[in-house]
Structure 1
Amino acid sequence: MRLNSNTQIVRALSLSGATHSIITGDIGGTNARLGLWQCIDAGPGNSAQQTEVYSETYPTSAFVTFEDCLQAFLDESEVRSSAAAIKAAALAVAGAVENNRCPMTNISWVIDGKQLQQRFNFQVAVLNDFEAVGYGIPALGAGDLVPLTDAPMAPEAPKVVMGPGTGLGAAQLFWDSGIQGYTVVPGEGAHATFAPRGWRQMALTAYVTARVGHCEIEEVACGRGLELIYEFLLSDPTFRGPAIKSISNMRRLAPQRPDNKPTSGVRKLAPEITAEALEGDAMATQAVDIFLSIIGAEAGSMALRCLARGGVFIAGGIVPRLMERVKTGVLLDSFVNQTARPRFQYLLQTMPLFVVTNPKVGLIGSKEYAMRLVRDQQLQQAWADAPAGDALQ
């Protein structure tokens, strides 16, 4: 057989029905979720058969290092009895990843892919948790998504994903014809300066700036942001009443403490605000609607940056719980916003918008990335084994 392209090599390899195992991981500050998957190559043009053999969740406090935690997983009888050799692991980590290494933020673990590979003798990739979400997006089915528009997904077009949770994650997906799949480009756009719309959001910006010094998008577009919005609405009835006459009055109108920072009113946590909004509480509903309008506006901005005709996906733990308010149209209206973006509304209307309802999208992404690592290993081995003339023709 003459193998003169990467695609032909991969197709040839997939004829063998090879079986291998991969490890997936979702590593947070409190828990480490690990899974063992068995994958069987299913032949040309078909997806590999994937079966989760075993999964376990470990409290991070029970282990001094992540290496100890992973060793405990590998020592589980269900893992040791697996016949297929472990070829790769992909670990989604809550923290900044550089050179395949992540010092965890809230615990003393350092997750180093190179060191793990040397110790356990299989390839290890360390991914930012939202990068893993990005790799999970193309693998989702219709049951994992709630469409907010009728626009179709353009094949091989850019996609964007964002997710308000503890913070605000974001990533862009671009088609790579060489691997016939999407490459995820994570970013820190959530730390850009918030661009308010209307007098109420301008007042909110002043309120947040007085508290933390600068109003980034993330400050008002995550769980903590929803809490700030609620506090802001409670801080003074002016913010809930007629339009403020001038921006210069906003800081003056915020009630002050002796340390010259706004008071916070009655503090509530995001789950409380969410629950009260769904029960019909007027103040909580207003806070949630402001929050969703901010999410919609940022989703629209992300979509325009890369012309995301492949889809705009809102993941994370907050928005799926607010679908009753999402269905009122407040998020979609802000996404398109005919007033703020009159020249581009037609463009945004061509970009499909979804809420991701599958909470395991990050683990799905870890699995997809680990499988990609195995395919790369197969490809490299095939190139190494192929006669030089065949490989180059």
Structure 2
Amino acid sequence: MWNLIGDVGGTNMRLAAVSSDGEILEQRSFPSKGDVPLEEVCRSFVSPRDGAPGHVVIAAAGVVKDGQVTLTNARQTASESGIAAACGTGHAKILNDFEAAAWSLATVGAEDVTVLQGTTQFQRAPRLIIGPGTGLGVGSLIYAHGQPAVVPGEGGHVAIAPRRADLVAVFDCLTRDWPEVAMGAPLAVEAEALLSGTGLPRFYRALAEVRGAAAVCVENAEIFAAAQTQSDAVAVEAVALFAEYLGAVAGDLGLVLGATGGVFVTGGLALKNPWMFDTGFLEAFNAGGRHQSWREAMPVYLYSNEDFGLIGARNYLMTL
């Protein structure tokens, strides 16, 4: 018997046939933004093979609700029932991409990470993954009776607020420009309003307005490049605050979970800019007041295995 797994992002979708023991037998890549929907891509992958897959598990970059997902950047939807019908199987499951990312942590190895704090002596204990990309993804893995299990959630939408008095005007400017991200309390916004490829440019513009400077950067890549070369003071401050808030949110969520098995940072913005993980990130991560020692005891890693979607789909599959 063989099974089908997939990792579907906003640009590409990768499908793989795996054996009953999890070995990848064949892998192919397809465009996500093309005219062919996911169900039909699955059908074309399955049709030449000998028999239907026993199970199908797809990790998808989008909100999964009632067995259906709308891809965040590809403007197409897919359902478990549609995928099952296309593949000729009665068993199809769609995982949110960071639910799959959390499942990938069940088999993480030292070769997958750069240590920011702690060691690579991974404990079988709760693990958190957080990833700033187009949005801010968060997932968590726990162990129940010695077996891994994932708890889905939307941690990217917790609240952040000014950490210093001089940032009050910046958050006020951001919420006036983007009222949808306001969290109800004065100046509080969802974390994704800063910690994402969608939010950082808007935060940068708010910061430039308050500092009385020109917003010369437009795209994320420009902001990070200008910060790294220190050619734009606003970009330098924006990226420093990005790292600080990412550390603080990761530390808060890690503390909630009791992530003594590690906090894993991934996502396009993090992996393309590893230089930003300086002392400011760890100082914010470890700033825990009376319980700072709890935060300092959590290992922190930059998780660079970009195949986490496929790995997570496979790891979930192996629990069925």
Shorter-chain TM-score bucket reads 0.7 to 0.9
Mapped pair 1:359 → 2:306: yes
Cα deviation for residue 206 of structure 1 reads 1.3
- What amino acid is aligned across from residue 134 of structure 1 in structure 2? A
Alignment of 1:351-390 (within 5 A): 351-373=298-320
- Give CA-to-partner distance per residue, 1:293-345, whole Å, 9 cap, x none: 0100000100111211111111111112222221x3221111012xxx32011
- What amino acid is aligned across from residue 268 of structure 1 in structure 2? V
TM-score (norm 1): 0.72
Distance 1:195 1:73, change over 3 A: same
Cα deviation for residue 282 of structure 1 reads 4.3
Cα deviation for residue 360 of structure 1 reads 1.5
Select the structure of larger CA radius of gyration.
Answer: 1
Distance 1:25 1:100, change over 3 A: same
Out of 25, 33, 39, the position equivalent to 1:67 is 39
Alignment of 1:1-393 (within 5 A): 20-40=1-21, 50-63=23-36, 65-75=37-47, 80=49, 86-107=53-74, 109-122=76-89, 123-150=91-118, 155-177=123-145, 180-213=146-179, 214=182, 215-237=189-211, 265-283=215-233, 284-326=235-277, 328-337=278-287, 341-373=288-320
Equivalences, count: 310
Distance 1:276 1:267 in 2: 8
Q: Percent identity?
A: 30
Distance 1:107 1:318 in 2: 19
In structure 1, stretches of 5+ residues that fail to align are 1-19, 41-47, 241-263, 374-393
- Give CA-to-partner distance per residue, 1:138-162, whole Å, 9 cap, x none: 2222111111112566633211111
**Relative to total residues, which structure has the larger strand share, 1 or 2?**
2
Distance 1:268 1:198, change over 3 A: same
User: Are the equivalent residues in 2 in contact too, given 1:38–1:84 (CA < 8 A)?
Assistant: no
- What amino acid is aligned across from residue 15 of structure 2 in structure 1? L
Distance 1:150 1:28 in 2: 31
Distance 1:71 1:237, change over 3 A: same
- What amino acid is aligned across from residue 307 of structure 2 in structure 1? K
**What is aligned with 1:243?**
none
Report the 3-state secondary structure (helix = DSSP H, G, I; strand = E; otherwise coil) of the residue aligned with 1:278: helix
User: Are the equivalent residues in 2 in contact too, given 1:317–1:359 (CA < 8 A)?
Assistant: no
In structure 2, stretches of 5+ residues that fail to align are 183-188
- What amino acid is aligned across from residue 204 of structure 1 in structure 2? V
- What amino acid is aligned across from residue 216 of structure 1 in structure 2? E
User: Are the equivalent residues in 1 in contact too, given 2:118–2:299 (CA < 8 A)?
Assistant: yes
- Give CA-to-partner distance per residue, 1:103-123, whole Å, 9 cap, x none: 445556432213432442332
Distance 1:201 1:371 in 2: 47
- Give CA-to-partner distance per residue, 1:251-289, whole Å, 9 cap, x none: xxxxxxxxxxxxx83351101112232333242232211
Across the aligned residues of Structure 1 and Structure 2, the Cα RMSD in angstroms comes to 2.4
Cα deviation for residue 39 of structure 1 reads 4.5
Cα deviation for residue 351 of structure 1 reads 0.6
TM-score (norm 2): 0.88
Distance 2:86 2:274 in 1: 45
User: Are the equivalent residues in 2 in contact too, given 1:90–1:366 (CA < 8 A)?
Assistant: yes
- Give CA-to-partner distance per residue, 1:63-99, whole Å, 9 cap, x none: 1x32212112224x5xx2xx68622221111222123
Distance 2:273 2:86 in 1: 44
Distance 1:183 1:231, change over 3 A: same
- Give CA-to-partner distance per residue, 1:16-45, whole Å, 9 cap, x none: xxxx422221223443221222354xxxxx
Distance 1:121 1:60 in 2: 24
